[in-house]
Structure formats: structure tokens, C-alpha cells
Amino acid sequence: MQHYTIVVSNHKSGAYRLTSLIIGLMNLALFSSFLIQKPSDTIKWVLLAGILFLSAAILHYFFLQKKNKTSVYLNFCFILCGFIWLLLDIYFTGIGLLIFGIFGIYANKPLKFVFKEDGIWYPSFPAKIIPWENIDQVLLKDHILTIDLINNKLLQFTMPAGFSLPDESHFNQFCRSCTLSKKSL
């Protein structure tokens, strides 16, 4: 069974990275302020571990920011910070950070479209399949993927640099044959 996988740019990742940085810095400041309040020895070591992990994750984030990449370490650090807040009996913040960290791992994944003979696997949460019966035309040209649906919706995505693309003519021929075979049924 022939299939194509195409990675498209995630334009919302920049806003998520900025939000993650702000939340990380806020947690770093809050952990430091709790540490200044002279907690018990056990809590002190937990707070120090949180400060250490957050500092390392934020430094790692800045190092990768120069290379235009995303850091999943900050998301794992949010999960760790969520558990620390739960240990400090601050449940609302702890649960919020746990959820933010888990969803952040999914939000920063590259968006991959998989084109198969039974339809297009659309990278949403949860994953969605667009059957070929709902598609009028698919075109890949000059690093732009265009999906024209029969309900007059048009989806366009750009390809990031560094990812290999399939041969445009073979891909377009595959999509054309899939749409024509489903329309003839």
C-alpha cells in the first residue's frame, strides 16, 4: 500500500514557546520566593531541585532558540514542577502545570500529514482521517501543500526547510488517482 508522509510548518509553536518561557520564569521566581521563606529541610531540597531543573531547562531553551528549534525539556520540567506544587499542597497550580506540560509535548510535535489510499491522516488532536470522497484536489508545488475540500474549504500549509519532500509529480499523480477513483464510485 503506497503512502506519503509530509511534514508541514507549525505556525503556532512560536506563541507556545513564548508562553512556556514566561510560565517557566514565573515558576522559577515563585520557587525562589518559597525558598527564601525558610521552609523545612525536605521542602527546601524539593524547591532547590525545582530551581535547578527549571534553570537548566530555561538555559537549554535559550540555546535551542538560537538554532530555531523547540525544547521538550521545558515541558517535562513543567510536569516535574506540577508535582512539586502538589507536594507543597498547591493543587490548582500543580494540576494546571501537569496539564500544560503534557499538552505542550503534543503541541510541539511536527505536523505530519499521511496520505494513504483510504484517505489523509490529518494531524489534529485526536487524529482525524479525511476520506478521499471529501477531497476535490490535492496539490504539492513549491513547498506548499494545498488541500481543496468539496465543501469549499481550502487548507494550505508550507513545508519547513530541512525536511525531505516526495517527488512532486509522483505525489500529485497519486493524489489525483485517489480522488478520481473515489469520485467514480
The residue-averaged pLDDT of 1-27 equals: 82
Q: What is the tally of structural domains in the chain?
A: 2
Kindly state whether residue 179 falls inside one of the protein's structural domains. yes
Pick from 19, 85, 93: nearest CA to 47: 85
Rounded CA-CA distance 105/40 in Å is 33
Using one digit for the tens of pLDDT, what is the confidence trace for 90-123? 899 999 999 998 888 877 777 888 898 888 898 8
CB-based contact 137:179 (threshold 8 Å) = yes
The residue-averaged pLDDT of 136-162 equals: 87
Where residue 66 falls among pLDDT bands split at 50, 70, 90?
Answer: low
Rounded CA-CA distance 142/70 in Å is 25
DSSP letters spanning 107-165: HTSPEEEEEETTEEEE--SS-EEE-GGGEEEEEEETTEEEEEETTS-EEEEEPPTTS--
Here the CATH number for the domain that contains residue 135 is 2.30.29
Q: Which one has a higher pLDDT value, 51 or 163?
A: 51
Supply the pLDDT for residue 183: 62
The residue-averaged pLDDT of 164-178 equals: 85
The CB density around residue 176, as the number of other CB atoms within 10 Å, is: 13
The pLDDT mean for the chain works out to 84
Kindly state whether residue 7 falls inside one of the protein's structural domains. no
| Grid cell of 181 as nine digits | 477513483
Pick from 147, 151, 148, 136: nearest CA to 183: 136
Which of 52, 74, 107 is the C-terminal boundary of a domain?
107
pLDDT at 185 over 70: no
Supply the pLDDT for residue 65: 63
The residue-averaged pLDDT of 143-166 equals: 84
Where residue 182 falls among pLDDT bands split at 50, 70, 90?
Answer: low
pTM over 0.75: no
- Domain match, 152 and 82 both: no
